[in-house]
Amino acid sequence: MPFKYEDMLVVHIPSWFPIPEKPLNGNFISRHIESLGDSVQSVILHHVREGFTPILPQNATLFPLHVIHANKLGLFHAYVTAFEQLIKRYGRPDLIHLHVAIPMGFVAAKLSRKFRIPLIVSEHWTGYLPMNRPKLSLPERVILRRTFQHADYITAVSQNLLDNICATVPAAVGKPQSVVGNVVDTELFSLKESPISEGKKQILHVSTIDNNAKNIMGILRAVKTLSSQRADFELNIVHDFLNEEAEAYVQENGLSEIVHFLGRKTSAEIADLLHHSDFFLLFSNYENQPCVLLESFCTGTPVVTTPVGGILEIANADNAVIVTPKDETQLIEKLKNMLDGKQKFNPASIRKQALEICSADIIGQKWLSIYRSL
C-alpha cells in the first residue's frame, strides 16, 4: 500500500494556469498537480487578475492574491504578504513547487530563501531549446539564473529539455534532476473501437498552428500535392488561434473539401475526434513532450511526427512513423504509406505503452518520490 503524506503541505506557484477564456494555457500544470491526488495537501498560490478565475484541479485549494499595476518588487512583496497569510491559515509548507521558471521564478526563489523551504522547479517551456535560446532577454536570463541557483530539485517533461536547461543555465548543472512527463486523462482518452471509419481516411492535427513551431504551412503544402494524386482522405485541424495565412492557402488552393479548420475543442471533443481518426499528424520544427501525442497513443491512434525535442523518448516504431523536419517530400511519401495501409499498428499495444508513462498514477508516484527525497 503506497505511503500517504497527508501531513505534507506543498505550495504550488504556477507561471501559467488555465482560465475559462484560455483553458489550454498551462493545463498540463494543472494535470501534474491533480496527479498527486490526496497524497499531499496542495495549495496553489497564484496572482489572479480581476474577473479571471483559474480552472482548479479538484484536489487543490487556491490561495489567490490580487495585485493591480505592480512592478517586480511590488509583486514580490505581495507574494510575501500572501505567503505569510497562507502560513497562518495552513501552517508552514514543507515544499514550494514552482511550475515553469518564467516569469514567477524570481518570486519562488526568494520565498524559498526567505522562509527556508525547499524549492522544486519543473519545466515545460520551449524557451530553452537551441532555436529559441538566442531570443531570451537579459531580464529572463537573470530570472533563470537566480531560480536555478536556489532550486533544490529540477524536473522537466523530457530528458531533451533537461539537457537544454543545463545548456542554457549553467546554474542548473549538477542539481538533482529527473524526467517527469506529462499527464493524460486515460479514462477520457480511452482505447477506440475498430474499424475506425468507412469512406475517407481521417487525419487529425491539434496545435496552436503557429508556423514557426508547428510548420502548418508545410503540412498544407504536402496535403495540396497529395490531393492532386488522390481524394481518399481529410485533414481535420483543431487550433487555439487563427492563422490567416493557413486559411487563405486552403481557400486559394481549393482544399476546403479536404482541410477542415475546427477551432478550439474541449478535451472530450478531441478524444472523440481521435476515436474517429485513422492517424494523428504533427510536423513540428521543435517540441518538448507534446500532450497531444500522448493523448493519441492512449486512444491507440498511431502518429506521423518529427523526431524533435523529446518526441523520440515517447515515439517508436510500434506507435509512430518518423519524418525528417521540413522534408515535405518525405512527409508526402509517409502519408501515402499510412493511407494505403502499408504501416500496421496494434492499437492495444500503443495504449499499453502510453499508460506506462503518462497515467496519473505513474506521474503522481514520481512526484511523491521526489517530494520524499526533499
Q: Which has more confidence, 37 or 72?
A: 37
Is residue 168 within 8 A of residue 128, CB to CB? The reply is yes
Query: Could you confirm whether domain 201-356 is CATH 3.30.420.280?
Result: no
CA 36 to chain centre: 17
Q: Which has more confidence, 344 or 24?
A: 344
State the helix-helix crossing angle for 27-34 and 360-373, rounded to 10 degrees: 70
Q: Which has more confidence, 332 or 16?
A: 332
- Position 4 pLDDT exceeds 80: no
Is residue 36 within 8 A of residue 63, CB to CB? The reply is no
Region 216-236: mean pLDDT is 97
- Position 330 pLDDT exceeds 50: yes
Quick: pLDDT tens for 241-266.
889 999 999 999 999 999 999 999 99
Sequence ranges of the domains in the chain: 9-183+359-373, 201-356
Q: Identify the top-confidence range among 19-28, 187-196, 346-355.
A: 346-355
**How far lies 110's CA from each of 104, 257, 287, 357, 371, in Å?**
10, 55, 30, 33, 20
Q: Residue 74 — pLDDT band, cuts 50, 70, 90? A: confident
Cell 499499453 locates to: 352
Q: Three-state SS for 330?
A: helix
- Position 1 pLDDT exceeds 60: no
Is residue 48 within 8 A of residue 64, CB to CB? The reply is yes
Quick: pLDDT tens for 332-361.
999 999 999 988 999 999 999 999 999 999
Quote the CA–CA distance of 333 and 158 in Å, as a whole number.
Answer: 29
CATH superfamily for 9-183+359-373 is: Glycogen Phosphorylase B; (3.40.50.2000)
Q: Residue 193 — pLDDT band, cuts 50, 70, 90? A: confident
CA 272 to chain centre: 20
What pLDDT score was predicted for residue 61? Answer: 93
Quote the CA–CA distance of 188 and 50 in Å, as a whole number.
Answer: 32
- Position 46 pLDDT exceeds 70: yes
Q: What is the pTM of this model?
A: 0.92
Of 193, 292, 294, the closest CA to residue 237 belongs to: 292
Q: What percent of the chain clears pLDDT 70, i.e. is strictly above it? A: 95
Quote the CA–CA distance of 175 and 180 in Å, as a whole number.
Answer: 15
Tell me, what amino acid is at 157? V
Region 290-314: mean pLDDT is 97
Quote the CA–CA distance of 261 and 63 in Å, as a whole number.
Answer: 38
What mean pLDDT value characterizes the chain? Answer: 93
Of 322, 312, 262, the closest CA to residue 287 belongs to: 312
Q: Three-state SS for 111?
A: helix
What pLDDT score was predicted for residue 51? Answer: 64
CA 40 to chain centre: 23
